[in-house]
Amino acid sequence: MSTLPPSPPSLADLRREIDSIDEQVHNLLMQRADIIDRLISVKQTQEVGSAFRPAREADMMRRLVQRHHGILPLDTVESIWRVIIATFTYVQAPFAVHADLSLGESAMRDSARFHFGFTVPFVPHFSAQAAVDGVSRSKGDLALVSATSSRTPWWLALEAEGTPKIIARLPFIERADHPAALPVFVVSRVADSAMVTEVEMWSVRVSGWNAEIARALSPLAEIVAVPDTAFDGAALLISITGTTSLDAVKTALIDSGASLRSQALVGSHATRYMVPPTGAPKS
């Protein structure tokens, strides 16, 4: 006698499974909150400024992409994790996000809300310098400024010892159709042990800046340049990765006819982590 195939589960059965999983997820989040509560006592996070940990967060987001599969969109799972991470960071040591809206409000708000959720206070500014100044006056706030262009050399305020630094570049996971794709630098004060130094950010001031020099540097590094008419030059924010060096950039500047006036390390961040259309991540 042939055995009848098992009947498919009913909608009620499947919904009970979903309800059970939802309850487990909620319980796990509450367990995570309990651990954070203990972490606050152990690390005394409130005394070291921002609880933001860019090195750890970049690593967490990379591992998320590497293990993710199935029909759940990566956008969704990334946004869920970002809200979880940002909210628990805020619970450890409350902070605000200061955002420069001068180059476009909607894209910057999308980036802030995608990466930090709605629990973290959002403070709008109409210049990058104002956003950085807001962080300089705070204990552990973050500033979001454009990573690709600027009207003013806001990074000069990061040159002195003890000032906030560039600590991250968002999004942590880059892809062509990212819902918060605006390239953004995060500026804050964090513990040295929390920094990730895969990409160094240098403030370099030069005389004799022109388009030809910019073209000569483009194969070596990403550069944000603001002309300095007073010195016939420019203030440069240069990203230096492990594949090049500051000395190589300086040599290229001098060989192209520029004169170096000053240089200062103003932060660092993780290597850009790209997810191509095929879904296989690459740095």
Q: Mean pLDDT across the stretch 227-243? A: 87
Q: Mean pLDDT across the stretch 172-184? A: 93
Structural fold of domain 50-196+268-274: D-Maltodextrin-Binding Protein; domain 2 (3.40.190)
Q: Report the candidate in 56, 54, 116 with the shortest Cα–Cα distance to residue 81.
A: 116
pLDDT in tens, 181-198: 999 999 999 888 888 889
For the chain, the domains span 50-196+268-274, 201-267
Q: Is the pLDDT of residue 6 over 70?
A: yes
Which tokens is 210 given? 């022109």
Q: Mean pLDDT across the stretch 158-181? A: 94
Which tokens is 212 given? 């030809």
Contact indicator for 142, 117 with CB cutoff of 8 Å: no
Q: Which residue shows structure tokens 């921002």?
A: 50
For 150-213, the three-class secondary structure string (H helix, E strand, C coil) is CCCCHHHHHCCCCCCEEEEEECCEECCCCCCCCCEEEEECCCHHHCCCCEEEEEEEEECCCHHH
CATH 3.20.20 fits 201-267, yes or no: no
Q: Report the candidate in 92, 146, 96 with the shortest Cα–Cα distance to residue 116.
A: 96
Residue 94, exposed/middle/buried by CB under 10 A (0-12, 13-18, 19+)? middle
Q: Note the pLDDT of residue 279.
A: 61
**Under 8 Å CB-to-CB from 7, ≥6 apart: which residues?**
none
Q: Which residues on neighbouring strands pair with residue 168, listed in sequence order?
A: 186
pLDDT in tens, 114-168: 999 999 999 999 999 999 999 999 988 999 999 999 999 999 999 999 999 999 9
Mean pLDDT of the chain: 90
Q: Note the pLDDT of residue 5.
A: 74
Q: Note the pLDDT of residue 192.
A: 81
Q: Note the pLDDT of residue 2.
A: 65
Q: Mean pLDDT across the stretch 14-27? A: 95
Predicted TM-score (pTM) of this structure: 0.89
Cα separation, 265 vs 210, in Å, equals 23
Q: Note the pLDDT of residue 42.
A: 79
Cα separation, 74 vs 64, in Å, equals 9
Residue 44's pLDDT band, with cuts at 50, 70 and 90, is: low
Q: Mean pLDDT across the stretch 257-283? A: 85
Compute the residue count for the chain: 283
pLDDT in tens, 104-122: 899 999 999 999 999 999 9
Q: Mean pLDDT across the stretch 223-227? A: 93
Cα separation, 191 vs 178, in Å, equals 30
